[in-house]
Structure 1
Amino acid sequence: MTDIPQLTLARDPHENEFIQAVSDVMTSVRPVLEKTPEYRHHSIVERIVEPERVITFRVPWIDDMGQVRVNRGFRVEMNSAIGPYKGGLRFHPSVNQSILKFLAFEHVFKNALTTLPLGGGAGGTDFDPKGKSDGEVMRFCQSFMAELFRHIGANTDVPEGDIGVGSREIGYLFGMYRKLKNKFTGVLTGKGLGWGGSLIRPEAAGFGCVYFAAQMLATRNDALSGKTCLVSGSGNVAQATTRKLIEMGAKVVTLSDSSGHIYDEAGIDAEKLAFVSRLKNIRRGRLSEYADQYPHAVYAPAAPGQASNPLWRHRAQCVFPCATQNEIRKADAYHLINNNVKLVCEGASMPCTADARYIFIDKGILYAPSKAANAGGVAVSGLELTQNSIRLTWLGEEVDNRLKIIMKGLHDTCLAAADAYGSPGNYLVGANIAGFIKVADSMLDQGII
């Protein structure tokens, strides 16, 4: 904790996720701070860990029974030194200010690494869309946007989807924004293809994660083809990660949701993945139905409170955690090490605890932090904004090629920064340092604001 500004600890002692994210970055950038007295003189660290703005608001809405319900909404606008705030909206009962500050803080450096002119932000609500009718979700989204619209804009703050916010929610949110502002702009990304969306955007985070993993393996003259992979989650990121791994010749044997995980030793092929897509994206069902459809697969219900997740006990060479934060803990990391894992590439935001991360790095496992490996989503969000600005739609192949180029450049930037500061091959240090320097230099250029 010595690397965390004492003021942050004093102000936010109970914000565990935020403190974890700050500690992760500050530990890595210590050599940069030692070599750059200007950063200390201008209190860059103290400023960079404090949000520029935190907005909290109530969200009243009416359920199908006519009952008025009230949820809490948030938007954390963390840093805009290199561009408008950019980051997801999360609809989930676990949402609180600490989680959103951590996500916004991560987005500051993730977005900087993409080379796109985007700052960092995050928002959401403790509303749970699961089990709600389309009408209830629509009414909630309209009420949520009735407050949020005052604080966002194409050149100010551009939200996107996150957990619980898919194409349905983005559609309702955008429709209300358009009505309130009487303008059609690229204020949200992840829009439908018929009204300003970009091809490859729903798949971008997952595709980008796999492209990054391929680059990592290439540094050891290895490839994804023939590798057995564990993937957690079953939302957009997990589905896209699985799809791209299949295309690159790997075998994915797991997926999960909040109720448990499935293990399919034969591998999840394109047909099985299409079933999962219909199940989760259209029917909004539970993953336990996979084992009903494919009886050879094993379904294991979730067991909250255990020291480790059974999903991470399966044998594999590559691991792609794509569900939620802190899903791989210390015990899970040792299970994976004992099963001879070669690579861990984070598809979700900070899915490994600090203990797990340092175990992987200490054991020489290829480990990619989410701010690097998960950057494909925001990269294509930036490309969606570009298409909106010029009123053009690029072909999927063009967007995918641009994504590949961005992820390769991002990979090389991380390695170069790690090498320059005495941590060769350490993607965690490299990502943190490269993102930090870009944002810190921009803040210096713009004065004390």
Structure 2
Amino acid sequence: MSYIEEVRAAVAARNAGQPEFMQAVDEVLNTIRPVVESDDVYKRNAVLERITEPDRQIMFRVPWTDDNGNMRVNRGYRIQFNNAIGPYKGGLRLHPSVNLSIIKFLGFEQIFKNSLTGLPIGGGKGGSDFDPKGKSEREIRDFCHSFMTELSRHIGADTDVPAGDIGVGGREIGYMYGQYKRIKNLYEGVLTGKGLTYGGSLARTEATGYGLVYITENMLAAANDGIKGKTVAISGSGNVAIYAAQKVQTLGGKVVTMSDSNGWIYDPNGIDLAVVKDIKEVKRGRIKEYADRVKSAEYHDSGKVWQVKCDVALPCATQNELDENDAHTLVKNKVKAVGEGANMPSTTEAINVFQAANVLFMPAKAANAGGVAVSALEMSQNSQRLAWTFDEVDGKLKGIMKGIFDKTAEAAKLYSKPADYVSGANIAGFLKVAQAMIAQGV
């Protein structure tokens, strides 16, 4: 049995019942094989055993009071996975689906994503199975304060710097930051995604969506193509999806789909983002309302956006939303490129279909790294007591995404084959972290 098979078997035995985490581990181990088998330094230093085991797995109860005066209890998580190249960095997710497997998969992915940015940040992730949907402002505030009361023991500007994720936007970050200050009596950049009045960064809201489109454009350019004139299918209607759509439109593409957990819309004339923003960002409504307001649009409460013919697909909703059947449909409809805006939105089988059909495919580790990159830029601004302009931050983001593409493409050429961006992203991210781990000893 090879070193990689030995580690994979041990990780599977130790993490039984954690399918999302094992899916993420399997993808990385399978793609870094050429590197690991070329030099026994990784085995001698037990790099794979160490990199697949979190430094810390923190679970805690989060008690809060609802509007009827009833005490409720949720479970909170913070996985501090690897800090070989910098303080732990990764978002907080509030969603009823949150469990240990999902938080560990997200934290593991974050190690390599953060490494690819070239910035000094390690990998971590956290959250809770609390569902903010349908909760009042007071209930959300009470939950966030309780959550931070425990989380504050484990984080700090040079230790672990959480950010937002699904269910955690500027409102939730604000409540958490206020509680952190009260407990610690410190005004420091311990959270990113903060409001602009108290240390937040311009372009942070747009960063993940913009970064996704920047790297997809780089991928297309390497194939002598571009987004201009392309029909683009996007899933989701949250922060990532909205700003990916905005950047696609700026570059001359046409976005024709968006979705939420209830259904999806198709607008052959191109999505009117002003309407989507009003529904999702202002009124916090459902995407079906778009079809009530835009006559050219269709609403579907079954099926997926991937049945719509498109040139570029950008899955921006959640993990494993794009399966093997969806991939076959996209290939049949002659999709040219897929860029992952969400974390691990394509199943392993779907990725295999795309690669077998020579569809350009950019994995989430590289494609959605724009959000954490600008979070790290927010940390830099906080440390220096500076505030950069939107254009300064956006310019840095564009350069970072170009750098990620170049590193991913170069690693693919050296260790796999040109345009195998899945292997390239994993290998490039792994090499930096592994070298730092070896240099620092056990």
- Once the two structures are TM-superposed, the CA of residue 5 in structure 1 deviates from its matched residue by 2.0
Give the match for residue 158 of structure 2.
155
Structure 2 residue corresponding to 1:186, chosen from 181, 185, 189: 189
Q: Supply the distance in 1 between the matched residues of 2:95 and 2:7 (Cα, whole angstroms).
A: 28
- For 2:257, the aligned partner's letter is T
The answer to whether 1:300 aligns with 2:300 is: yes
- Once the two structures are TM-superposed, the CA of residue 3 in structure 1 deviates from its matched residue by 7.5
Give the match for residue 304 of structure 2.
310
The answer to whether 1:410 aligns with 2:413 is: no
- Once the two structures are TM-superposed, the CA of residue 283 in structure 1 deviates from its matched residue by 1.6
Query: In 1, are the aligned partners of 2:213 and 2:248 still within 8 Å (CA)?
Result: yes
Segments of 5+ residues of structure 1 without an aligned counterpart are: 304-308
- Once the two structures are TM-superposed, the CA of residue 444 in structure 1 deviates from its matched residue by 0.3
- Once the two structures are TM-superposed, the CA of residue 319 in structure 1 deviates from its matched residue by 0.4
Query: In 1, are the aligned partners of 2:416 and 2:423 still within 8 Å (CA)?
Result: no
- Once the two structures are TM-superposed, the CA of residue 249 in structure 1 deviates from its matched residue by 0.4
Give the match for residue 287 of structure 2.
287
Matches within 5 A, 1:44-443: 44-268=47-271, 272-301=272-301, 303=302, 309-443=303-437
1:367-406 Cα offsets, whole Å, 9 max, x none, are 0000000000010001000000000100000100000110
- Once the two structures are TM-superposed, the CA of residue 13 in structure 1 deviates from its matched residue by 1.9
Q: Supply the distance in 1 between the matched residues of 2:172 and 2:277 (Cα, whole angstroms).
A: 17
Give the match for residue 43 of structure 2.
40
Task: Using structure 1 for the length normalisation, give the TM-score.
Answer: 0.97
Query: In 1, are the aligned partners of 2:75 and 2:128 still within 8 Å (CA)?
Result: yes
1:147-191 Cα offsets, whole Å, 9 max, x none, are 000000110000000000011111111111111111111000000
- Once the two structures are TM-superposed, the CA of residue 97 in structure 1 deviates from its matched residue by 0.3
Give the match for residue 306 of structure 1.
none
Q: Supply the distance in 2 between the matched residues of 1:61 and 1:310 (Cα, whole angstroms).
A: 36
Segments of 5+ residues of structure 2 without an aligned counterpart are: none
Kindly report the root-mean-square deviation, in angstroms, between the aligned alpha carbons of the 2 structures. Answer: 1.0
Q: Supply the distance in 1 between the matched residues of 2:203 and 2:289 (Cα, whole angstroms).
A: 27
Q: Supply the distance in 1 between the matched residues of 2:285 and 2:255 (Cα, whole angstroms).
A: 21
**Equivalenced residues, count:** 439
Task: Using structure 2 for the length normalisation, give the TM-score.
Answer: 0.98
Q: Supply the distance in 1 between the matched residues of 2:173 and 2:27 (Cα, whole angstroms).
A: 31
Query: In 1, are the aligned partners of 2:7 and 2:48 still within 8 Å (CA)?
Result: no
- Once the two structures are TM-superposed, the CA of residue 9 in structure 1 deviates from its matched residue by 0.7
- Once the two structures are TM-superposed, the CA of residue 282 in structure 1 deviates from its matched residue by 2.4
Q: Supply the distance in 1 between the matched residues of 2:349 and 2:6 (Cα, whole angstroms).
A: 16
Structure 1 runs of 4+ aligned residues shifted over 6 Å read: none
1:119-139 Cα offsets, whole Å, 9 max, x none, are 000000000001111111000
The answer to whether 1:26 aligns with 2:33 is: no
- Once the two structures are TM-superposed, the CA of residue 296 in structure 1 deviates from its matched residue by 2.0
